[in-house]
Every structure is written in C-alpha cells, then in structure tokens.
Amino acid sequence: MTKRIKINKLLYLDKTVDKVVVKGWVKTRRSAKGFSFIEVNDGSCLKNIQVIADNSLDNYDDICRLTTGSAVAVSGSLAESPGKGQKWEISAKNIEIISIAPEDYLLQKKRHSDEFLRTIAHLRPRTNKYGAAFRIRSELSYAIHKFFRDRGFRYIHTPILTGSDCEGAGELFQVTTLDMENMPSINGKTDYSADFFGKEAGLTVSGQLSAEMFALALGDVYTFGPTFRAENSNTSRHAAEFWMVEPEMAFCDLDDDMDVAEEMLKYLTGIVQKNCAEDIELFAKFVDKKLKDTIQNTLSSDFERISYKEAINILEKSKKKFEYEIKYGKDLQTEHERYLTEEYFKKPVTVYNYPKDIKPFYMRLNDDNMTVAAMDILVPRIGEIIGGSQREERFDVLEARMREMDMPLQDYWWYLDSRKYGSVPHSGFGLGFERLLMFLTGISNIRDVIPFPRTPKNIEF
C-alpha cells in the first residue's frame, strides 16, 4: 500500500510538497465550475484537508458521486490555500475511491443528540465531538504513564478476576462457569467447590489490594485498568465498567498521598491544555462554555484541604436546600460535594478524615478511634473524582477492624500476612478515569466518554 501522511502532520508542514498521499473519509463534497471540492478527514485531528479535484481527472464522474462517509485515497500536491482558515489544500492528481457509503448513512451533516448517538456507538467516534473526546482519552492515558514513570513508579498489572471485594460494598459482578439452569447445591446452598475456581469469584472493583502487595515490594507502583461495579445506580457519573488509575506508595502518609493526587490532577489538566488545544476548543464552543476557565482555575489555584468535620460544618451553615440530609456520620452526596467545590470554594477541594463507619476496612484508623485517614478530591461539575487513603499497616488494628466488620478473615490471609512481615505506612488512591475525562471535556454523561458504555440494562456493542 502507498504510504500516507496523516492530516495532523500534513497541516503543520511548513512548506509545500510535490507529492502527498492522504487516505480518509469524505465529510462533504460540492461542485464548482470545472472542479469538485472535497473535505477529507482521516481521524488524526479535528480539521479536514480540502481536496481540489479537477474535471480532467479520469474518474471525475465517479468523484462527483462521492457521498459523505465514502473512503478515498488522494494523491496530489500540497498547495497554499486561498480559502480562509486553512493553510494548505491538496490539488489532486489521482483519487482512488476505496468505498462508497450509501445515502442512508446516518452521519450526514446535521447534528445529532448525544442520546441518539449512543444508539449508534459503533459510528459515533466518526463525529467531530466524539473523535475529539477519544483523542483526548488517548492522550490522557499516555500522560498517566508518563507522570508515574517520570517519578520512578513501576507499572503493575493487577488481576481482573478476583476472589475479594476490596471496597466491601457488595458490588461484585459474579463470574461462574456453573450451569445456571442446574446449579450444584449442598443443603440448599450453591456448591461453589464445583465452580471453575472452586469458590465464588468475580470481576475486580479495584486493584488496590494487589497493588499494596507490590508497593510493599517495589516501593512506588501504580495500576491502570478496567474495574467493574454492579451498582444499580443509573446516574450520569456511574458506569458498570470503568477505568481506574491506582497508585500505591510505600513509606507514605495521608499528607504525601494528597500531595501526589493533587500534583497528578494538575499535571493531567496541563497536558490537556497544552496537547489537546484544538479538541478542547470544540468542547469550549459547543459543550461547556466555562471549560477553559475550569481548566485554568485548576492549574492556577491551590486546592483547598478541609476535614470531613469542617465540610459538614460548612454544609450545615449554608442556606442551600439539599435533597439529602447533612449529618455528621453520613456520607457526602454529589450535591454536597458540588456545593463545596463549585459554590463555596470555587476550586478543587480535598476532604480528609472521614468517619470510619462509612469507609472500607483497609483505611488507617486515626487516634480519635472514630475517623480514618481517608481523602476524596472533589472538583466542579463532577464531585468526587479521586478517592484514597492511608492504609492500616498495624496487624492488630486491621484484624480487629475486619472482625468488627464481619469479614471472612481466612479469605484475606495474604493481605493480613503483609502486615506481619515488613509492614510500613503506605497510602494510595484511585482516580476514576472517565470522571477525569468528563471534568476536562465538559461532557456531562459518563456514557459519552467511554467507547462502549456498560450501564444497567445496557451491554449493546
């Protein structure tokens, strides 16, 4: 096949080129006297390249039948464009028609709603908006690896199939090879010894517990992969399958943990501002008018840090009507989180030291015996974007806490073991990757930042 140049490279060339080959899809085509103007896009960037097809081309009649969505290979010379807003155009010497899209192709020029585009999730990455969103997703994935690598973190792969419910919220998707129509049972209960793993298994809700084992061996590590939660909450912020970035650091307390989390969030925001400017421009224009301010504000402000107790005080004093009750000991709801970050502080806020009863077993108990060394980072429009903690490294305290929570200790023997041999203070956090994308693009529904969203009653594509 002839080598092609991608449009994102071509548009930034600084001089004309005699022969270029561009391969892509037709966005629009219109005829003028003796010419056709064809806008071609290859997905490498938002911008199209304009192709001028002269009626002297052999297959000019076929070229005039090119429809939106058709695929072409264009070779020609790169010339300065007299048109406004574009530096280059291609004067075609040859246009090979790779395929013609029939007229019923759904992505014609008109704009479609996000709801409709979800029903054609196999085609939506071809639209300007979704193309931009998924280019940003790619850029941010790479930036996450770069952030950690530059700071000496090791990348580890934690298992997706698991026997433990890390967060203890009972949201595990069960995995089984048992015959659902004919389950083996003993005394009326399913006999999992006959199952593939010989016991109950599920899809992981978090890689944290495995990551901790590696932090206690390699020092600073992170995992970045898919996680699964069978929460039946049909909100715009929850997906059943989402990606999480989870660093875990040995010899690290809650303050260090918050420092790294805030630094990472700023770093990733800066990357988007710098490397994705053209795509961000689209979101700022059509999706969220305040997006650029949000980005700038995140970069230039010091995040606020307050304890859970202070957060409750502020919320109680606010005159705002909330749907959910505010009470010490209850978890903060998204509406509370958003009030704190959007209206009260007007910048990202880190809330720490939550009551132990609303947090998982692994968080380190504070000296007050009431709160744990937990932290959540809240950002405008989203609420919680990061959740983390210092981990309970003291064997006795951890064991007592697990008993108090009625956990099956025998299943966590290996986790407890790590607190017997060379236990050290350590901390980590989880960044919800889709929530980060929502934050940095202004997209308001999690279903629109993940290629093929999985939510209750929806596993199409």
Burial of 28 (C-beta count, 10 Å sphere; 0-12/13-18/19+): middle
Q: Is 432 in the site for ligand 4AD (CB under 6 A)?
A: yes
CB nearer to Mg ion: pick between 7 and 377: 377
Q: Is 167 in the site for ligand 4AD (CB under 6 A)?
A: yes
* Least CB distance to Mg ion at residue 352 (A): 13
- CA dihedral (130, 133, 137, 140) in degrees, to 10, reads 160
Map the footprint of ligand 4AD across residues 198-257, applying CB under 6 A. Answer: 206, 208, 229, 231, 238-239, 242, 244, 246
- CA dihedral (28, 30, 36, 41) in degrees, to 10, reads -10
CB nearer to ligand 4AD: pick between 195 and 434: 434
CB nearer to ligand 4AD: pick between 36 and 389: 389
Q: Contacting ligand 4AD (CB under 6 A), which of 42, 165, 434, 448?
A: 434
* Least CB distance to ligand 4AD at residue 53 (A): 47
Residue partners of 265: CB distance under 8 A and separation at least 6: 298, 348, 377, 379, 385, 386, 431, 436
Residue 214's closest CA among 300, 303, 154? 154
Burial of 61 (C-beta count, 10 Å sphere; 0-12/13-18/19+): exposed
Q: Report how many residues bind ligand 4AD under the rule CB under 6 A.
A: 24
Interacting partner of 231 out of Mg ion, ligand 4AD, none (Cβ under 5 to 8 A depending on kind): ligand 4AD
CB nearer to ligand 4AD: pick between 239 and 280: 239
CB nearer to Mg ion: pick between 98 and 358: 358
Residue partners of 271: CB distance under 8 A and separation at least 6: 139, 140, 143
Residue 385 belongs to what H/E stretch?
strand 383-390
Residue 371's closest CA among 360, 350, 356? 356
**Alpha helices (runs of H) in 64-154, residue ranges in sequence order:** 114-119, 128-150
* Least CB distance to ligand 4AD at residue 87 (A): 40
Q: Is 355 in the site for Mg ion (CB under 5 A)?
A: no
Interacting partner of 166 out of Mg ion, ligand 4AD, none (Cβ under 5 to 8 A depending on kind): ligand 4AD
* Least CB distance to ligand 4AD at residue 124 (A): 20
Q: Is 158 in the site for ligand 4AD (CB under 6 A)?
A: no
C-alpha 257/C-alpha 212 separation (Å) is 14
Instruction: Show the binding pattern over residues 374-393: x = contacts Mg ion (CB under 5 A), - = does not.
Output: -------------x------
Q: Is 453 in the site for ligand 4AD (CB under 6 A)?
A: no
- Give the Cβ contact number of residue 297 at 10 Å: 16
Q: Would you say the C-alpha torsion 75, 76, 79, 82 has a positive or negative sign?
A: negative
Radius of gyration of the chain (CA): 27
Q: Which residues bind Mg ion (CB under 5 A)?
A: 387
Residues of this chain that interact with ligand 4AD (CB under 6 A) are 166-167, 206, 208, 229, 231, 238-239, 242, 244, 246, 384-389, 428-430, 432, 434-435, 446
